[in-house]
Amino acid sequence: MGRPDGAAMTVTAPTIAKIADIDRDTHFRIGQFLFREADLLDSGEWERWNDLFAEDGIYWVPSSADQHDGIDQVSLAYDDALLRAIRVARQGADLAASLRAPVSSSRMIGNLMASHEEAQGFYIARSRFSMAQYADWGTRTFHGSYTHYLRPVGDDFRIVLKRVDLVNIQGSIGDILTIL
């Protein structure tokens, strides 16, 4: 996967040694940002969720745990600004039969670890999630980890990359009717 400057960006978990390089306030603000993102998704505020992304931001759901490239390998989702806008438009529209009945979700996020990649100018936040998705046919659960690359913008952040790694990616996933 590439950065806007054309250099490669690899997605790795922050190491324990790197956690100490951010202060408590920054760690807290990163956590609040992730909780706000989850709340926007659970509230169906798709446009506001999309606004959390940097102009060059990517939403990525790899098809395997060891996938390092969303362009040359098949992914469940690899959305730039245009594809995110299409995904957001579909969430609230009557365009897809699977989305005609209301779909709701509830997320829990925890185990947040964050580090600062000073040379590249962003923070990396890695967290675990559990999400329940309800549709008229029943409830499904999804579990996994999020890796967010966050660019500081004033007192806030913008998402440069959101990677969603599902625990059961090797098995049958079924329909994911909402944004993870």
Task: List the domain boundaries for the chain.
Answer: 19-63+74-166
pLDDT at 152 over 90: yes
- pLDDT for 170 equals 80
The conformational region for residue 31 under phi > 0 = left, psi -120 to 50 = alpha, else beta, is: alpha
Confidence (pTM): 0.84
Tell me, what's the pLDDT at 126? Answer: 97
* Best CA proximity match to 80, nearest among 2, 145, 152, 144: 2
How sure is the predictor about 137, in pLDDT bands with cuts at 50, 70 and 90?
A: confident
**19-63+74-166, CATH topology level:** Nuclear Transport Factor 2; Chain: A, (3.10.450)
Distances in whole angstroms, Cα of residue 44 to Cα of each of 23, 92, 105, 156, 161: 32, 8, 9, 21, 21
Give the model's pLDDT for residue 90.
Answer: 82
Helix (H, G, I), strand (E, B) or coil at 10: coil
| Rg, C-alpha atoms of the chain | 16
User: Residue 17's pLDDT band (boundaries 50, 70, 90)?
Assistant: very low
CA–CA separation, 135 and 107 (whole Å): 15
State the sign of the Cα–Cα–Cα–Cα dihedral 49, 54, 58, 60.
Answer: negative
Percent of the chain with pLDDT over 70: 83
Q: What is the mean pLDDT of residues 158-162?
A: 97
| pLDDT reading at 33 higher than 90 | yes
